Each structure stands twice: as structure tokens, then as C-alpha cells.
Amino acid sequence: MRKVYLDHSATTPVHSEVVKTINYYLTEAWGNPSSIHSVGRRAKKGLEEAREKVAAVIGAKPEEITFTSGGTESDNMAIIGGAYARQKKGNHLITTQVEHHAVLDSFKNLEKNGFEVTYLPVDEEGLISVDEFRESIKDSTILVSMMHVNNEIGTIQPIEEVGAITKEKGILFHVDAVQSYGKIPVDVNKLNVDMLTASSHKIYGPKGSGCLYIRKGVRIPSFTHGGAQEKKRRPGTENMPGIVGFGKAAEIVGQELESEMKRLTALRDKLTKGIEENISDIRINGHRTKRLPGNVNISFRYIEGESLLLSLDMKGVAASSGSACTSGSLDPSHVLLAIGLSHEIAHGSLRMTLGRDNTEEDIDYVLKVLPEIVTRLRSMSPLYQRKEACQQKECYEHVQ
Amino acid sequence: MYSEKVMDHFTNPRNVGELEKPSGVGEVGNTTCGDIMRMYIVVKDDVITDVKFKTFGCGAAIATSSMVTELVKGKTVEEALKITNKAVAEALDGLPPAKMHCSNLAADALHKAIEDYQAKQAS
Ligand SMILES: Cc1ncc(COP(=O)(O)O)c(C=O)c1O
Ligand code: FES
């Protein structure tokens, strides 16, 4: 059976070149980068090369990169650290309703500790309003955190416009770029960001590794205390396999960025168009064009996402859903609710995120199996049955 | 995370559909996550001779609906009323803890269909 992995926003397969690099630093250059001897120096060289590679992708200086355990830690560090660093100037913070939980829960923690947070709403395509953002700024606003690309619906926020405003007003600006780093152009100077989060496992690197870009001159307190590693911002002997793997992955995605963007945009549009043409009662979630090249998010009415995922998996297709039944918390995705979907429509959502191994044949295969699955599940659905009854005008009850 | 039995009932659900002239129909909505299940029964001489379901829900919800229809066919009304959510989950070799509420849906829909039948009998 054909295997089609369409869950690259959850994580990506580790690139074979990345595996080779990691292997070298596990077997040949396994030293402690802080040591003076040659095996230590070899590790140190790998560490600093990785920093250069990770910085190059976003136009940053190597010394502005702090390696961390991934996106979650970087988000916490930037938001909580940034808020406490500026608390003498005010206590108001701004973010959006559609952030990743690593961001939202950092803000919830700050709210418990006396900070005031504005959660900006988004429109039906998932975009914030720059005017609304400007109006939400107060004299006491000290920090703004906004994601670049939404992990569920792929919508790209107007970060550059927001960055111009925060710069003018002297407000600290953090961007969660976990879903954009290495996938679309990100330039910390053009976007005017002070801090930016990236994660290795979304770009074909190892898990548990990431970084926080911190603009030169921006100071935030450390969470952990110890040695002098990472300029004391994040002490502890470095996670060398994670860091060198991240570095190699950054180098590769940086080189392939433009060609992959073009290729994935074409595949994404083919998949979306194919679904629109072959399956009725659907809703495209997210913005049509201000959208991550590899992201397709579609709700299929009258059916539920988990049964869709199980059925796709049986055909070798791996995807994800924002359905309440897959969330573990039994609430539908907060992002789908924020763009105004009813619980019922959020239920039938399917996210397919494409990556470097996907081909045109993969898309053809999905377009072959998906309509059959949707038809089968709809034939089992009491909601679909009602819809058909309505159309035959023998309807007693109406679909909401 | 699902047992083989659950996957079997999800992939090849028994008794999906509707019945033309049901003796009773029961529909329940799941307040936990918003799913819906509808159950049709035919009762002859106090025995459930036919049963069909339609479900809008997760894999566990579909599998429990299917299992309940298997358990109930050929049973008397009194026996059917004794089928518990727990019995349905056990017949499927268990459900993940987060999915136990889905099994409530199936037995509840069945019991509602029986109530509907009994109400019609009484009137
Ligand atoms: C937008 C966004 N932020 C943060 C994270 C967390 O990153 P990590 O898994 O590296 O902790 C993710 C990963 O799912 C994400 O998509
Ligand atoms: S029906 Fe929603 S979790 Fe089972």
C-alpha cells in the first residue's frame, strides 16, 4: 500500500543528511564544547557552525541565537522572560486567540501573576486586524507575541506591519515562527521582531531542539541557572545531537526554500481544487492565498474528524484533525472556533500538511481515496440522512 | 490505541442504516463532544428482531453503535434494557479512558428506542 505522510506541521521525518551529521557528533566529535582539548574543540566548532546556519535562515547574527529544547521552551522564555524584563514599564501584553498552547498558556501564567492580556480575535480566514491591534495598545503595553503562520489553518499574519508599529512604540515583539521558519521567507530585520521562536523537528531535524532569536541589546532573565553556556541565558552542557541536527536541517531547508515553496504551493492547490471538485458540503479553513505553501485544512460536513483520520490511516494516509474527538480535551480546536466554525463543522475538519517527500502521485492517491471515505462515513451519519430528507422535502427536522 | 475489535467494528460496522417501519427510534446527542447517534428497532412478540443505526462520531462511537446492535439482536425487550455501557465496552475488549463516554451513547440510544417503542405500545 502507498504511504502518504501529510502531517508535516505535527512533525517531519529526519533528513538523512541530518542523521549523518548527528552521527558524526555522537561518535567522532562527542566532546564537551566547553573543554579545551581537541575532542572538545571539535564539538565547539560544530556548535558554532550550527548557530551560524540557524541564524542565516532568518538574517540574524549567530550571537543572537540561543539554543533551547524546542518551540515550547523558546515561547515560554520569550514571553515570560520578556514580560518580567519590562514589568517596571507596565503590565499590559497583547497576543491573539489563535496562538499555540505554548504561547497561550504562557500568557495565562502571566495573568495569574498580575499581568493583563489582550487576546486579539481573528476574522473568518484567521487574520488579525492591524487597526484593531493598533487600538489595543495602551501606555502600559510592554510586549506583543504573535505567530507568523498558524499551525492549524496555515494563515500568515501581517507580521511586518505589526513589527513596524511595535518598533515605533518601543514595545517588545516576539514572533512564534515555528511553522514559518525554513518554509517561507523570514527576515528578523524586515519583520522588525525582537525575539523569534523556531523548532528543529518541523524542518526535518531532531525533536526536542529549537532556538530563540534574541535581538542584540534585548535582555530577558534566565529560567535556569548554572554554567556559562549560551551566554548564561540557558546554562547546561549543550544538547549537541539536537543542535547540530537543527543546524544541518536549517542549512538544507534554507537552500531549498524557494523551490519547495513553489512546488508545495502547486501541490496544495491541486489537492484543494481536487477536493472542491469532487466532494460536496465542504468548507476551506484559513486564507486562500496568505497561506503556508503546504497547508490544506478542510471541513467535511456531517462527518467527524477522528473517523476520517482512522479511515485515511487504513489507506496509508497520515493526517490530523481539529475535531473534539481527537483533542483529548473533548473541545474542538480553539483556532477553528476563533474563525467562527460551529462545533459541528469543526468536528469534520481535516488538516493535511505537505512536505519535501510528497509528490504529485501522492496527491492523486489522496484524491482517489478521500472521496470514497467521505461517502462511506456520510452514509453512516444521521446528519447526512437528515440533509437528504430535507432536499427531498420530506423533512420534519432541520439540520442546524 | 484502539483494540482490534474496535477497529474491526469501525471498519466493518454491523447493521448500519435505517429501518422502513421501526417499532421504535431513539436518538441521543453526546453532550461531551457533540456527537449524535440514532437507533432503530423492530420488535416482534417482545423480541428485538431487527436493529439499525446511524452515527456521527469518532471511531469508538461507531464501533460501540455497531457492537450494541450485535448484542441486542434476538434479545427480549427486558434483556435489552439490561445491556449496560460497560457491557458494550467490554464486548469490544475495552476502550481508551478518554473514549469511555462514547460507549454511553450506544446503550442510551438503544434504551431510548425501546422507550419510544413502549410509549407507542401504551398509547
Ligand atoms: C506554532 C507552534 N508553536 C510552538 C510549537 C511547539 O514546538 P515544540 O514541539 O518544538 O515544543 C508548535 C509545535 O507544534 C507550533 O506549531
Ligand atoms: S464521539 Fe466524540 S470522542 Fe467519541
In angstroms, the CA A246 to CA A198 distance is 10
Residue A396 has pLDDT above 50, yes or no: no
- In contact, B15 and B38? CB cutoff 8 Å: no
User: Which of A304, A328, A332 lies at the smallest CB-CB distance from B56?
Assistant: A304
A4 min Cα distance to partner chain B (Å): 20
* A307 & A164 share domain: no
pLDDT (tens digit per residue) in A244-288:
999 999 999 999 999 999 999 999 999 999 999 999 999 999 999
- Domain holding A151: CATH number? 3.40.640.10
At residue A400, the pLDDT reads 38
At residue A385, the pLDDT reads 74
At residue B33, the pLDDT reads 72
Residue B97 has pLDDT above 60, yes or no: yes
* A82 & A171 share domain: yes
* A246 & A332 share domain: no
In angstroms, the CA B29 to CA B39 distance is 12
Is residue B37 helix, strand or coil? strand
- Catalytic site residues of B? 33, 102
| Grid cell for residue A314 | 487504513
pTM: 0.94
Domain final residue, candidates A219, A237, A253: A253
Q: Closest chain B residue to A343 measured between Cα atoms?
A: B34
The reply to whether A325 belongs to the active site is yes
Of A211, A325, A390, A395, the catalytic one is A325
* A188 & A49 share domain: yes
Interface mutation vs chain B, best among A301, A302, A307, most B CBs within 10 Å: A307
Whether B54 has its CB under 8 Å from any CB of chain A: the answer is: yes
pLDDT (tens digit per residue) in A16-30:
999 999 999 999 999
Whether A42 has its CB under 8 Å from any CB of chain B: the answer is: no
* A275 & A160 share domain: no
**Where is A112: in which H helix or E strand?**
helix A101-112
Confidence band, pLDDT 50/70/90 cuts, at residue A398: very low
Residue ranges of alpha helices (H) inside chain A are: 16-27, 38-56, 71-85, 101-112, 130-136, 159-169, 240-278, 305-314, 334-338, 343-347, 360-379, 382-391
* A49 & A186 share domain: yes
Q: Which residue has the cell 521567507?
A: A185
* A92 & A107 share domain: yes
Domain final residue, candidates A200, A227, A253: A253
* A191 & A213 share domain: yes
ipTM, two decimals: 0.91
- Domain holding A312: CATH number? 3.90.1150.10
Q: How far is the CA of B26 from the centre of ligand 2 (A)?
A: 18
Residue A395 has pLDDT above 50, yes or no: no
A106 close to ligand 1 (CB < 6 Angstrom): no
* A81 & A181 share domain: yes
Interface mutation vs chain A, best among B56, B69, B112, most A CBs within 10 Å: B56
Across A92-96, A330-334, B23-27, B54-58, least confident range: A330-334
Whether B98 has its CB under 8 Å from any CB of chain A: the answer is: yes
Domain that holds residue A261: 4-9+257-399
* A24 & A59 share domain: yes
Nearby residues of A156 by Cβ (< 8 Å), 6 or more positions away = A148, A149, A180, A184, A287, A290, A291, A292
Whether A382 has its CB under 8 Å from any CB of chain B: the answer is: yes
Domain final residue, candidates A189, A222, A253: A253
* A206 & A340 share domain: no
Put simply, the answer to whether A304 touches B18 (Cβ < 8 Å) is no
B36 min Cα distance to partner chain A (Å): 7
* A226 & A301 share domain: no
Is residue A2 helix, strand or coil? coil
Query: DSSP character for A208?
Result: S
| A7: β partners | A353
Q: Is the dihedral of CA A319, A325, A330, A333 positive or negative?
A: positive
| A198: β partners | A211
Overall number of domains in chain A = 2
B30 close to ligand 2 (CB < 6 Angstrom): yes
